[in-house]
Amino acid sequence: MVFLGFMQFSVLSLCFIVLTTFPYQASSRVSFGGNQNGVNPHLDDGICASAVIVHGYKCQELQVTTKDGYILSLQRIPEGRLEGRNDVSRKQPVILQHGVLVDGMTWLMNPPEQDLPLILADHGFDVWIANTRGTRHSRRHVSLDPSNPAFWNWSWDELVIYDLPAVFDYVFSQTGQKINYVGHSLGTLIALASFSEGKLINQLKSAALLSPIAYLSHMNTALGVIAAKSFIGEITTLFGLAEFNPKGLPVDAFLKSLCADPRIDCYDLMTALTGKNCCLNSSTVERFLMNEPQSTSTKNMVHLAQIVRHGVLAKFNYVSPDYNIMHYGEIFPPIYNLSNIPHDLPLFISYGGQDALSDVRDVENLLDRLKFHGVDKRSIQFVKDYAHADYIMGFNAKDIVYNSVLSFFNQVL
């Protein structure tokens, strides 16, 4: 019971912690913009129409089906705004993978000259934006409906096993070239787990990991601490919900209960959730609210919670030894051994000194697991003033981080 109680806290605390950011006022219902289903009507036509083509770029809306039947949305930006040519056969492909509770739109919140996908396109890369199962444009399956709990029976293990390989296979089949990868937050976790098991390696050229998540033992957010001490019993009703929808009433009620605590400043949840972001414009945050957050599975949130509790990176723990044996043939779930990542795989890792999610000590733990990585294959960047959201929405991220990503990719061409 103690174990389950901790997991119940962690599911909710991680929801708010990993969400990236959203402002909230304790006196009113959480408002994310859009209609009653959480969708902004202006974004219904897809990410290409709402955030790429409007800036003068070509963009294709594509679909990829995973081996377990999920139909994922994928956007391709084949060239820069000023190129005016259609031949992309020699362009290097880049896949961008977002974090949990957001979708591919999260890369496109700033003006075009500040958005990483468009910057990459302008610098001659063939850009592909992935969207995880369960997010707004990836809520389809060959036989299951999102109203069916079976649709949500997955954790980030399935993103490792099915989603990333499906996207990589498709991009590789279309381009015939090895792929560069950019992940943020959960997008780094599933990449590291994949690489550790030898997945994707034959199709991969290099990987840039921004605000990496692999270990969460030192995650230190105000919301997490308060929830752990005061509100375990308030969120037990969330179990039984297969879809974890941050816009739903159970989460809204829990937020209100947290905001009643004087130790939490609910007028600045950005800092309470992600650390003190240095470089976000209010217009960017407003745009973020029109699109995010997105749904994920409750099982996925529980799996993330298990990283916090156990301090190791392992497959989903079914708690019951019988269930673990059924799934893995072992009492305990297998561990993702990051030391198995090929030592000659070019890696770029950037982390921030103010990040309350990707805490410096946890990143140092990750780097220690990579200590045998080839010195000339590992590039590390530390940004003292950056927190979690700065990496995808910071107005100066182009100069501080993205230019370094470009240099890294160009060095491994």
Q: Mind giving me the DSSP string for 35-102?
A: STTS--GGGTT-HIIIIIGGGT---EEEEEE-TTSEEEEEEEE-S-TTT-----TTSEEEEEE--TT-
Among 367, 396, 384, 380, residue whose Cα is nearest residue 208: 380
Among 339, 345, 413, 346, residue whose Cα is nearest residue 379: 346
- Does residue 388 have an active-site annotation? yes
Choosing from 103, 355, 362, 390, the catalytic residue is: 355
Q: What's 348's DSSP letter?
A: E
Q: How far is CA 47 from CA 72, 81, 86, in A?
A: 13, 17, 21
Q: How far is CA 104 from CA 109, 239, 331, in A?
A: 10, 28, 37
C-alpha 27/C-alpha 127 separation (Å) is: 42
Q: Are 254 and 14 in contact (CB under 8 A)?
A: no
Choosing from 98, 141, 373, 388, the catalytic residue is: 388
Q: Mind giving me the DSSP string for 161-208?
A: IIIHHHHHHHHHHHH-S-EEEEEEEHHHHHHHHHHHTT-SGGGEEEEE
C-alpha 235/C-alpha 325 separation (Å) is: 29
C-alpha 182/C-alpha 208 separation (Å) is: 5
Choosing from 10, 13, 155, 185, the catalytic residue is: 185
Q: Is 233 helix (H, G, I), strand (E, B) or coil?
A: helix
- Does residue 355 have an active-site annotation? yes
C-alpha 87/C-alpha 97 separation (Å) is: 25
- Does residue 27 have an active-site annotation? no
End-to-end CA distance of the chain: 53
**String of b and e for 239-257 (b: at least 16 CB within 10 Å)?**
eebbbbbbbeebbebbbbe
**Residue positions annotated with a catalytic role:** 185, 355, 388
